[in-house]
Amino acid sequence: MKLDKKRFFKSAVCLLLSFVSLLIIGGDYILLEAKEKETFTVGFDAEFPPYGYKDDNGQYVGFDLDLAQEVCSRNDWNLKKQPIDWDSKDMELKSGMIDCIWNGFTINGREDNYTWSTPYVDNSQVVVVRKDSGIKKLSDLKGKIVVVQADSSALEALTGEEAQKENLELRKSFKKLEQVNDYNSAFMNLDIKAVDAICMDIGVAQYEIASRGEAFVMLEEQISTEKYGVGFYLGNVELRDKVQKTLIQMLEDGTFEEIAKEWGLEECICLSKEDKPKDMSDSRQNVVTKGKKIKKDWKWVKNSTKQLTKAFMDNMIIFFLTLIFSLPLGLLVAFGRMAKFKPLQYLVKFYISVMRGTPLMLQLILVFFGPSILFGWKTPDNYRFYAVIIGFALNYAAYFAEIYRAGIEGVPRGQYEAASVLGYTKIQTFWKIIFPQMCKKVMPPVTNEVITLVKDTTLAFALANIEIFAVANQMVSKQATILPLFIAGGYFYVFNFVVAFVMECIEKKLNYYS
């Protein structure tokens, strides 16, 4: 039987077109189904148990996230759990990347900045200390080092404009008030006795103490009381009302209390159907008034610049001390890397591999916490700053060592032979012949590392060492504008421009054969 090629081709084309049509129709149907189900994006701090955190299975869980999931289920929404940098929460909300902030979010002091649900958790600021510290009451904190989370209610309760007089006096009695990124870092500092106490939310304190055993206790006296709510973008009444209505339904049928019991927070809940959300006609007026105020009042920019300038000086101290120690140390490491003695060479190679293969932040944490955790040593109060310098110096010495090694090995062997003929010793040969040529060759890569170091100084905040970007992030959170970040970036650009210019001048000076 003869195959009709023309007919076969037409049939194949028809079949292909039918298949494509089915794909298009099916795709449209799927997209239509997806569009019908609205996405509700919740912004939260992923290091804030029991309200929101990542569990051992890598899943985001917590009291607030369970509440959000139940709200979404009842409204036929898709819940998107979006971890955020807490310092940038306002920008996330303002840009529309998240629909709300739902993560133990304090209403007190922020009443006019967001559209709020009614309060659902009564929270207090408490103090956690080591059981063997001898601290029994707040007055015992005099002369002690206390740590809080940056941009937290605890920080606001001790230093804010609306802080109670007794709390301001308490703050003045401290030897020092330090800030960390998260409560895990706070407890690590407390565990090694780098700090004496942590001021934090009572719900988080209860969870952390229960999780960490009997090493810590909570003082009976409280710093302040406050209430948690769900924060929406100012004026987003429609979404707030939907969530509020669903929460009340959950309260009436007992679901809200059941979820609270699962997380041990049943004594803290305060959601009431008698409470009414704030009249948003006032809030809308606040949007207009506040916007005008920001446009006209630039005094805070001047004050912010002063604070950023002071913070940048701390970055510069870290920068210059790191160079002073890492440049000569890198030369010693390079000698070890090129040593004829194999065990020393392998040891130095391993050191360089570790320094270049692991994050600098991890190295800083190890240098600071290592002596206490590994050897039980009691580090001095000012060791925090020393740990920053040690960590940076050790890290950059490894990079400089490899740059030096490449420069030394790049010098022609004939230079050594010529020096030997002239009667130079090995030491004289290196310092008078090899070293000047090595310096000339390594200037471009050294310049790159120096510029990188300027920017890396921001990692000092990992050890609660306040630097310019830590201050800028706090200002962003307070002012709801990213201008402080641009100011901080301007400082780095100008300084790096000066560094590059100076290094270029040195490079030209060394280029004596051009």
What is d(CA 255, CA 237) in angstroms, rounded to the nearest whole number? 24
Radius of gyration over alpha carbons of the chain, in Å?
A: 30
pLDDT at position 236: 92
**How many CB atoms lie under 10 A from the CB of residue 501?**
10
**What confidence score (pLDDT) does residue 464 get?**
67
Residue 491: burial class (beta carbons within 10 Å; 0-12, 13-18, 19+): buried
Q: What CA–CA distance (Å, rounded) separates 493 from 496?
A: 5
Contact yes or no for 136/196 (Cβ under 8 A): no
* AA identity, residue 225: T
Distance CA 393, CA 379 (A): 19
The pLDDT value recorded for residue 13 is 53
Structure tokens at 112: 């006019």
Q: Which helix (H) or strand (E) segment is 78 a member of?
A: strand 78-83
Residue 242 structure tokens:
């939907």
pLDDT reported for residue 100: 95
Nearest to 151 by CA among 488, 470, 386, 402: 470
Q: How far apart are CA 280 and CA 115, in angstroms?
A: 8
Nearest to 185 by CA among 200, 171, 167, 168: 200
How far CA 201 is from CA of 38, 64, 168, 205, 378, in Å, comes to 33, 15, 18, 6, 28
Residue type, 96: G
pLDDT of residue 151: 75
pTM, entire model? 0.65
Residue pLDDT tens, the chain, 514 long:
454 555 655 565 555 555 545 445 455 444 444 445 689 999 998 888 889 988 878 889 999 999 999 999 999 999 999 998 777 788 788 878 899 999 889 888 788 889 999 999 988 889 999 998 999 999 999 999 999 988 788 888 898 877 889 999 999 999 989 888 788 888 988 988 889 999 998 888 888 888 887 789 999 898 988 889 999 999 999 999 999 999 999 999 999 999 999 998 888 889 998 888 875 444 443 443 334 344 435 666 677 788 888 888 888 999 999 999 999 999 999 999 998 899 999 999 999 999 999 999 899 989 988 888 788 777 776 788 899 999 999 999 999 999 999 988 888 888 888 888 888 888 888 888 888 888 888 888 999 999 999 989 888 877 767 778 777 776 765 665 677 888 888 888 999 999 889 988 888 887 765 4
Q: What is the pLDDT of residue 254?
A: 94
Helix, strand or coil for residue 179?
A: strand
449 within 8 A of 404, measured Cβ to Cβ: no
Q: What is the pLDDT of residue 23?
A: 46
SS3 375: helix
The angle, 0 to 180 degrees and rounded to 10, between the axes of the packed helices 383-409 and 360-375 is 120
Residue 94 is predicted with a pLDDT of 83
Token reading at 448: 């790159």
Q: Decide if 199 contacts 126 (C-beta within 8 A).
A: yes
Geometric angle at alpha carbon 199, from 193 and 202, rounded to 5°: 120
Q: Cα 198 to the chain's mean position, in Å?
A: 19
Helix axes 435-456, 383-409, angle to 10 degrees: 140
**Which residue carries 């997209």 as its tokens?**
31
Which pLDDT does position 434 carry in this prediction?
A: 85
Domains (range + CATH), the chain: 299-510 (1.10.3720.10)
Please state the φ and ψ torsions of residue 269, each to the nearest 5 degrees. Answer: -70, 145
Q: How far apart are CA 401 and CA 432, in angstroms?
A: 20
